[in-house]
Chains A and B, each alone.
Chain A
Amino acid sequence: MVPSVKIAFVALAALFVVVVGFAAVAAALLLRGGISARVEPTSIEVAVARRMRRSGIDRSMRALQNPLPPSAEVVHAGLAHFADHCAICHANDGSGQTEMGPNLYPRTPDLRLADTQSLTDGELLYIIEQGVRFTGMPAWGDGSEQSRRASWTLVHFIRHLPALTPQERMEMESLNPKSREQREEEDAEEKFLEQGTTTTRPDGGRHH
């Protein structure tokens, strides 16, 4: 065999071994614990997913700036919209600490932290309107001007989340969608606190 061909053959074989080894390690990391959503995403997986998310948003989209003024009215509109549509997964305070958030894969992010706050207005808008594949984030936009405006109010509200006040959070609780069962339970709890008429055991409340 000609030396140069031999070198090329060895190099190709080495490359093959490296690629297969990398794939095996990646597969082992991804499939540890089967397909369970309970395993914690590795830091590598999180970093790669974030990088891919950024790469998946067009540059012109990333450069968009919120055209709405950050007025009290706009932020409040975002607050109401967030409480109605987003808080079920993200929590009213954006922490992601809901019944579902910590059990989704990937975990619902804490929107108050730099990983989200450092996103551009356009990136936030894109994620709200287009969603993110293979996560729990759906695409909320319907292409209408009304939808776009609602999404921009949400972008302002997300920026406001780190400064959310306890009063605002309480207002959001009154705006959160509730099932009939939840409303009845709230009424029963109010009645209990107001009138003290109950035979409820301490562990007799509803389990979410």
Chain B
Amino acid sequence: MMRTILAVVLVLALAGSAALAHGGGPHLKGTVSAITADQITVAGAEGQAAVAKITPDTRFVRGKAVGKREDLKQGDRVVVHTRKHGDALEAIEVRYKAR
């Protein structure tokens, strides 16, 4: 009984509030203007470039299959899903067409 009371009191004391945030980044559509082990630069249709960091968690998707960074080269068309990390963007997923 005491343990239950203690549990209730402490859980109440630990109560916090859940919040939904909008911390995601943009989806970059364009062609690869540069790609290294650490980052990918995507040029949009109007020439603007956006850079996203490549992390160990970045997924590469070739068509409907699992891909890898080495599949990509300059000029390839990609869609990059990103999330914000400070002022930078991190690539969550890089999609490209299966050849």
Residues of chain A whose beta carbon lies under 8 Å from any beta carbon of chain B: 26, 30, 35-38, 41, 45, 48-49, 52, 55-56, 95, 97, 99-100, 102-106, 133-136, 166-167, 169-170, 185, 189, 192-194, 196, 198-208
A166-B66, A201-B48, A202-B43 in contact; A193/B95 too (CB < 8 A)? yes
- Is the pair A35, B17 in contact by a Cβ cutoff of 8 Å? yes
Contacts of B95 on A, CB cut-off 8 Å?
189, 193
- Is the pair B22, A207 in contact by a Cβ cutoff of 8 Å? yes
Residue in A closest to B68 when the chains form the complex, CB atoms:
A166
- Is the pair A201, B23 in contact by a Cβ cutoff of 8 Å? no
How many whole Å from A169's CB to the nearest CB in chain B?
Answer: 8
State the total of A-B contacts with C-beta under 8 angstroms. 124
- Is the pair A207, B25 in contact by a Cβ cutoff of 8 Å? yes
Report the count of interface residues on B (CB-CB < 8 A): 45
- 9 closest Cβ pairs, A-B complex: A205-B27, A208-B24, A202-B44, A105-B16, A202-B50, A166-B66, A103-B21, A37-B19, A134-B15
Residue in B closest to A203 when the chains form the complex, CB atoms:
B26
Residues of chain B whose beta carbon lies under 8 Å from any beta carbon of chain A: 3, 6-7, 10-30, 42-46, 48-50, 57, 59, 61, 64-66, 77-79, 81, 95-97
Q: Which of B42, B81, B96 is the one whose CB lies under 8 Å from A202?
A: B42
Contacts of A41 on B, CB cut-off 8 Å?
16
- Is the pair A99, B29 in contact by a Cβ cutoff of 8 Å? no
- Is the pair B7, A52 in contact by a Cβ cutoff of 8 Å? yes
CA distance A167 to B59 in the complex (A): 11
How many whole Å from B40's CB to the nearest CB in chain A?
Answer: 11
How many whole Å from A41's CB to the nearest CB in chain B?
Answer: 8
